[in-house]
């Protein structure tokens, strides 16, 4: 291959390494940013733009606002060698005055600014200004760029200037110049993928124009237009893949289950409560799906304590009565065990055995269990990822229930489904999910929402309290037990950790029993107990033999003790928002006023403070989920990144919800009209779809 230019035959897939000025060393640095090919570079969208045509003079800088400004170096105060606590301080001047910028732990920048001072070069700064000890305004750790006079000057000043993510060894200025050259030569070769009629209807710019303008727009309006086109592409190709997958599953023959419903009726008669109107509505949707000759793909969504599990139990009993088996998959052993405990209250009395399979079950016990599943003697199997491992064979798997908890991907759901002959799939989630996330994470599923709490559920009074009020809190807990109520005390760890000063559950239980509640029974529950031990503790608490239950987060899901009216969460700032909401859901299940006390240990970060404020302000799980999404961002919302889903290049689920709705509507309509994208006007779209989804879902037969 000619080292001067990329291989033209490879087009936009040609390596960046062979571009002029790149070479092997810089190619390695670019690859750290995910930039391997010409196409990667074209779609490497700037993290932001600085308007260097309108810089803020130093004299007009406002406190606490992120602003762009520029000046020359007036003075450098370098820190003493070997003293990282002293920051590098650089004072800049412009025509209106002076501004000091400080950088901690970056003494090497002194040489860079020294050179800029000698050459009288302009330095661009971007950051928030603040006052330190009522002194003059300064910027801490601003983004900076030293600008030299050269032929590329118009790229770096006097315009909307793109600012890119960087890696050590790649200067902003060099990367910007490289991307300008790549765009100049290759942007016109970006193939249009959207049908012309769709582009006109949605008023979307041409893809090649959008790619250029997203990097180097002339105006903010041009940037917004370009961004909207690329966001639409992200969502449209994503939803198109889900629509095709959904359409194909709809064509597949499934198992029509329409038994008399005797088992479900007997379960209802034995319950101590009646289903709510929302539960009845959702169960009717699921019942209709089960009776249809196509596989069900449904998401059952509802807030903590809304009663999803009993609806899932009705689905399990329908499958069993129709002569099939059901599998219930949870992401952790603890959650799987809790589902087992709940289902064992209801199903075995009806003659339906329920067993548990996890990776901890080995040897003879595992062999006997797997044989029972294979023969069909075990009609309902609860488990973890172990359910989708090799060697697990069902005789007639008809229903798969997945307790999603945001930790399973599309591929794992698909693997469990493959254990049967197109079984029905019901996905449950206890954490309410904002609509934009539901449309992406569960875009291939129908959605049922239980939006009503069972009668008698009390809103939980939630307060945040500092460590200094521990004595008053203990007095309140005692008062509650005197009135006949029971208490949860939740700790983040099982044993002392030197790395984090947390009160361990074991130590806490001992102290409460020996020093605080000496006349009461204090119990202890944590993940290292065996299943039988955990079951015994839970039963004792439920029967009122334990007054105060000290626990780790194993009580997060699945425990229902109506008499427990208070939850004290130790070191509440250490917990995630959805986890705190799940924990709070353990109280408020009886007719008594209930409380959740978030005990904080001080020194909270801004994010931790916002989490606790959200908890004290609302009991609405959907609002909690929205705040959680705002704080953590979509990538971290689920704890781990979902497998089986393409990543978005530009789209942001927080701000682009309306475009997502449009793209989904258009994608599903297009697939309804042309299921395999065979029409000539969809040829380019088919290629774009395959490129985006390759290896993610089985769409290889498209076209």
Q: How confident is the model at residue 559 (pLDDT cuts 50, 70, 90)?
A: low
What pLDDT, on a 0 to 100 scale, did the predictor assign at position 640? 34
**pLDDT for 6 beyond 70:** no
Q: What is the pLDDT of residues 616-661, one digit of tens each?
A: 999 888 788 778 877 776 555 444 344 455 678 888 877 888 898 8
Q: List beta partners, residue 599.
A: 465
Same fold, 262-450 and 461-618: yes
Least confident of 301-315, 331-345, 408-422, 583-597: 408-422
Residue 126's DSSP bridge partners are 68, 143
Reply yes or no on whether the pLDDT at 516 is more than 60.
yes
Residue 91, judged by CB atoms within 10 A of its CB (0-12, 13-18, 19+), counts as middle
Angle at which helix 621-632 crosses helix 577-584, to 10 degrees, equals: 160
Give the 3-state secondary structure percentages of the chain, helix then strand then coil, rounded to 5. Answer: 45, 15, 40
Confidence band for 370, pLDDT divided at 50, 70 and 90 = very high
Torsion sign over Cα 541, 544, 546, 550 = positive
What is the DSSP secondary structure assignment for residue 385, as one 8-state letter?
G
Mean of the pLDDT values across residues 93-105? 92
The reported pLDDT for the residue numbered 341 is 86
- Given pLDDT bands bounded at 50, 70 and 90, which one contains residue 408? low
pLDDT at 478 over 90: yes
Task: Tell me the C-alpha distance between 305 and 559, whole Å.
Answer: 10
**In 461-530, where does DSSP find H-type helix?**
470-482, 505-511
| Exposure letters 394-403 (e unless 16+ CB within 10 A, then b) | beebbbbbbb
Mean pLDDT of the chain: 85
CB 250 within 8 A of CB 241: no
- pLDDT tens per residue, range 38-68: 999 999 999 889 887 788 999 999 988 888 8
Domain ranges of the chain: 8-44, 54-159, 262-450, 461-618
> For residue 634, what pLDDT is reported?
57
Is the confidence at residue 699, as pLDDT, over 50?
no
pLDDT attached to residue 639: 40
**Per-residue pLDDT, 8:** 46
Q: What is the pLDDT of residue 195?
A: 93
Q: What is the pLDDT of residues 521-541, one digit of tens each?
A: 999 988 777 778 887 888 899
Instruction: Quote the CA–CA distance of 13 and 203 in Å, as a whole number.
Output: 29
What is the CA angle 516-520-525, rounded to 5? 90
Residue range 277-316, pLDDT digits in tens: 999 999 999 999 999 998 898 889 887 778 889 999 999 9
Predicted confidence band at 133 (pLDDT cuts at 50, 70, 90)? confident
Give the closest residue to 160 by CA, choosing from 207, 212, 112: 212
pLDDT at 427 over 50: yes
Please give the DSSP secondary-structure letter assigned to residue 562: T
Q: Are 461 and 594 in contact (CB under 8 A)?
A: yes
Query: Fold for domain 262-450?
Result: Rossmann fold (3.40.50)
Contact 111, 138 (CB under 8 A): no
- Burial classification of residue 9, based on how many CB atoms lie within 10 Å of its CB (0-12 exposed, 13-18 middle, 19 or more buried): exposed
H/E stretch holding 578 reads helix 577-584
Q: Are 319 and 395 in contact (CB under 8 A)?
A: no
10 has a pLDDT exceeding 80: no
Question: Please, where are the H alpha helices in 618-656?
Answer: 621-632
The whole-number average pLDDT for the span 593-621 is: 89
Q: Can you count the helices (H) and strands (E) in the chain?
A: 23, 21
Residue in the block written with tokens 């704890």: 639
How large is the average pLDDT for residues 172-188? 91
What's the sign of the alpha-carbon dihedral 23, 25, 26, 30?
positive
Distance, in Å, from the CA atom of 443 to the CA atom of 519, rounded to the nearest integer, reads 54
pLDDT of res. 245: 79
Closest CA to 20 of 213, 138, 245, 180: 180
Q: Which residue has the higher pLDDT, 211 or 526?
A: 211
| pLDDT confidence bin for 173, thresholds 50/70/90 | confident
Alpha helices for 392-515 (secondary structure H): 410-417, 435-441, 470-482, 505-511
Domain formed by 54-159, architecture: Beta Barrel (2.40)
The closest alpha carbon to 152, from 186, 120, 180, 126, belongs to: 180
CB 127 within 8 A of CB 143: yes
pTM over 0.95: no
Cα 672 from Cα 651, distance rounded (Å): 25
Segment among 518-522, 527-531, 548-552, 600-604 with least mean pLDDT:
527-531
Q: What DSSP line would sit under 109-162, residue for residue?
A: HHHHHHHHHHTT-EEEEEEEEEESTT-SEEEES-EEEEE--STTHHHHSSSEEE
Averaged pLDDT for residues 578-595: 87
Q: Which of 145-149, 499-503, 649-653 has the lowest mean pLDDT?
A: 499-503
Angstrom distance (rounded) from CA 124 to CA 270:
73
Q: Which fold has domain 461-618?
A: Rossmann fold (3.40.50)
How far apart CA 81 and CA 426 sit, in angstroms, is 62
Say how many C-beta atoms besides its own lie within 10 A of residue 195's C-beta.
Answer: 17
| 333 vs 383, higher pLDDT | 383
For residue 183, pLDDT over 60 is answered with: yes
Hey, what's the torsion of the CAs at 321, 322, 324, 326, to 10 degrees? Answer: -60
The answer to whether residue 702 scores a pLDDT higher than 50 is no
The secondary structure of residue 383, as a DSSP letter, is: E
């Amino acid at each position: 291959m000619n080292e001067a230019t990329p291989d033209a035959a490879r087009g936009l897939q040609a390596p960046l390494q062979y571009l002029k000025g790149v070479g092997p060393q810089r190619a390695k640095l670019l690859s750290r940013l995910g930039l391997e090919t010409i196409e990667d570079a074209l779609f490497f969208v700037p993290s932001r733009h600085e308007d260097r045509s309108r810089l803020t003079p130093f004299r007009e800088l406002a406190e606490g606002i992120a602003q762009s400004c520029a000046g020359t170096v007036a003075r450098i105060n370098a820190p003493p060698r070997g003293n990282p606590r002293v920051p590098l301080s650089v004072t800049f001047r412009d025509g209106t005055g002076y501004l000091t910028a400080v950088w901690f732990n970056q003494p090497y920048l002194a040489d860079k600014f020294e050179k800029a001072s000698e050459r009288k070069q302009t330095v661009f700064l971007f950051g928030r200004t603040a006052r330190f000890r009522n002194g003059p305004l300064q910027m801490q750790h601003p983004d900076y760029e030293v600008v030299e006079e050269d032929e590329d000057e118009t790229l770096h000043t006097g315009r909307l200037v793109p600012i890119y993510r960087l890696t050590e060894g790649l200067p902003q200025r060099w990367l910007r110049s490289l991307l300008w050259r790549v765009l100049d030569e290759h942007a016109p070769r970006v193939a249009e993928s959207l049908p012309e009629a769709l582009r006109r209807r949605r008023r979307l710019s041409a893809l090649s124009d959008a790619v250029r303008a997203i990097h180097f727009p002339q105006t903010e309006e041009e940037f917004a237009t370009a961004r909207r086109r690329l966001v639409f592409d992200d969502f449209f190709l994503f939803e198109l893949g889900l629509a095709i997958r959904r359409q194909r599953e709809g064509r597949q023959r499934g198992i029509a289950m329409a038994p008399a419903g005797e088992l479900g009726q007997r379960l209802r008669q034995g319950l101590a409560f009646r289903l709510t109107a929302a539960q009845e509505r959702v169960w009717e949707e699921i019942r209709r799906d089960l009776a249809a000759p196509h596989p069900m793909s449904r998401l059952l969504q509802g807030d903590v304590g809304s009663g999803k599990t009993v609806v899932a139990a009705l689905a399990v009993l329908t499958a069993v009565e129709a002569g099939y088996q059901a599998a219930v998959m949870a992401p952790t052993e603890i959650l799987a065990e809790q589902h087992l405990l709940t289902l064992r209250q209801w199903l075995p009395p009806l003659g339906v055995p329920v067993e548990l399979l996890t990776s901890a079950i080995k040897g003879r016990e595992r062999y006997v269990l797997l044989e029972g599943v294979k023969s069909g003697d075990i009609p309902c199997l609860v488990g973890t990822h172990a359910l989708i491992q090799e060697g697990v064979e069902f005789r007639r798997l008809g229903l798969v229930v997945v307790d999603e908890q945001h930790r399973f991907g599309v591929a794992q759901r698909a693997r469990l489904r493959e254990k049967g002959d197109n079984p029905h799939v019901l996905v449950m989630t206890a954490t309410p999910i904002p609509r934009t996330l539901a449309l992406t994470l569960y875009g291939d599923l129908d959605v049922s929402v239980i939006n009503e709490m069972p009668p008698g559920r009390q809103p939980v009074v939630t307060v945040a309290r500092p460590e200094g009020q521990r004595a008053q809190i203990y007095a309140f807990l005692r008062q509650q037990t005197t009135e006949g109520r029971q208490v949860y005390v939740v700790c983040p760890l099982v044993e002392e950790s030197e790395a984090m000063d947390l009160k361990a559950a074991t130590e806490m239980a001992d102290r409460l029993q020996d020093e605080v509640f000496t006349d009461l029974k204090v119990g202890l529950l944590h993940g290292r107990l065996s299943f039988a031990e955990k079951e015994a503790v839970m039963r004792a608490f439920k029967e009122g033999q334990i007054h105060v239950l000290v626990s780790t987060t194993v009580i997060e899901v699945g425990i229902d003790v109506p008499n427990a009216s208070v939850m004290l969460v130790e070191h509440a700032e250490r917990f995630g928002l959805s986890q705190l909401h799940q924990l709070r859901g353990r109280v408020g299940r009886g007719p008594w006023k209930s409380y959740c006390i978030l005990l904080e240990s001080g020194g909270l970060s801004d994010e931790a403070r916002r989490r606790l404020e959200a908890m004290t302000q609302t009991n609405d799980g959907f609002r909690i989920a929205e705040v959680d999404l705002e704080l953590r961002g979509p990538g971290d919302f689920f704890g781990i990144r979902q497998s089986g889903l393409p990543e978005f290049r530009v789209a942001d689920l927080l701000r682009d919800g309306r475009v997502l709705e449009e793209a989904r509507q258009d994608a599903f309509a297009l697939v309804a009209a042309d299921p395999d994208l065979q029409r000539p006007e969809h040829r380019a779209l088919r290629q774009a779809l395959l490129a985006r989804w390759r290896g993610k879902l089985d769409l290889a037969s498209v076209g």
